[in-house]
Structure 1
Amino acid sequence: MLRFDPFSDLESMTKSLLGTETGTARVPRFMPMDLYKVDDHYVLHADLPGVDPGTVDVSVDNGTLTLTAHRSAPSEENVQWIASERFSGTFRRQLSLGDGVDPDRISASYENGVLSVTIPLAARAKPRRIEVSSLGTGEHRTIEAGPASDTA
């Protein structure tokens, strides 16, 4: 009697996609990162443990920020592996930048396995104050420009 098990196919597919099947190459699948905004810039932190700083590359081309790094595979010979879970190879992550950032002022540093990228806002994207005058009274008031708020 055949037993129907839809999860075995799903498990097999998952192992194939994640590279956890025995005998497959250990290839990095992702580069975990955090991205947040502070005042007039964005900050990106990407985890790259064990990566040689000389292999880290940050580039901007046509509105796309590309982070690339390479971790070499261990080259020990005559080794009998008991567990081999660390990825080796090239890590790559691409982010689409909006019009509100200044790509010429992006800076990056790499320390303790963490790549930090600072992405400044463009001057035109920063909030600014606009003087509003009333034609009849000669009064002036200041309106602060900023992100729109939702009111229901």
Structure 2
Amino acid sequence: MQFDPFGDPFRQLDRMAQQLVSGARTPMRMPMDVWKDDAGYHVELDLPGVDPSSVDVTTERNVITVRADRATRAAGSREVLIAERPHGSFVRQLQIGDGLDAAGVSADYRDGVLHLLVPVAPSAQPRRVEVSRDSHPDHREVVGSASAERDAVGPAA
């Protein structure tokens, strides 16, 4: 069971109890890959067989939460002999650093894979600092004054 710091822990316990009673197998996590490039961080989560309308991605503070549901097929007059494919609710929470832009997260779901792009915050992106080649007009006078004072005092011993 995964603790949801923004949810009701008793709801999680209730869900777990229902799973034990019903025999349903509901995973709370989904496999993922993460990589970084110039656009930011890419996250791919496997959600095979999930209806795209059930996928919900939210951001709150520095946490991205992905929720999805995979419905079970109604047994009806069928007798289920083996039920190994996971179904029910899937939840995954990703903690992101302050240098990432939670408000700029984008999501795309294709072929059973949810792709998230988490961009680097503009304030955390490296930037080139321009080095001025022209001295400040007063800088030459100060340097000139300092050297004139040194010459008046005499060479150092």
Q: TM-score, normalised by structure 2?
A: 0.67
After the TM superposition, which segments of 4 or more aligned residues of structure 1 sit over 3 Å from their partners?
Answer: 131-136
Q: Within 5 A, what are the aligned runs for 1:84-123?
A: 84-123=83-122
In structure 1, runs of 5+ residues without a counterpart are 1-20, 137-152
- Tell me if the contact between 2:57 and 2:65 (Cα under 8 Å) persists in the aligned partners: yes
Q: State whether structure 2 residue 128 is matched by structure 1 residue 129.
A: yes
> For structure 1, which segment, 100-109 or 43-52, has the greater mean C-alpha deviation from structure 2 after superposition?
100-109
Q: Give the whole-Å Cα distance in 2 for the aligned partners of 1:86 and 1:34.
A: 21
Counterpart in 2 of 1:18? Answer: none
Structure 1 position 131, deviation (Å)? 3.6
Which structure has the highest strand share of the two? 1
Structure 1 position 99, deviation (Å)? 0.8
- Tell me if the contact between 1:40 and 1:126 (Cα under 8 Å) persists in the aligned partners: no
Aligned length: 116
Q: Within 5 A, what are the aligned runs for 1:1-152?
A: 24-132=23-131
Q: TM-score, normalised by structure 1?
A: 0.69
- Tell me if the contact between 2:49 and 2:112 (Cα under 8 Å) persists in the aligned partners: yes
Task: Determine helix, strand or coil for the equivalent of 2:53.
Answer: helix
The residue type paired with residue 26 of structure 2 is V
Structure 1 position 133, deviation (Å)? 6.0
The two structures, once aligned, show a CA RMSD in angstroms of: 2.2
- Percent sequence identity over matched residues? 43
Structure 1 position 110, deviation (Å)? 0.5
- Note the alpha carbon deviations across 1:125-144, whole angstroms, 9 max, x for none: 111222456979xxxxxxxx
Structure 1 position 25, deviation (Å)? 1.7
The residue type paired with residue 69 of structure 1 is A
Which structure has the highest helix share of the two? 2
Task: Determine helix, strand or coil for the equivalent of 2:129.
Answer: strand
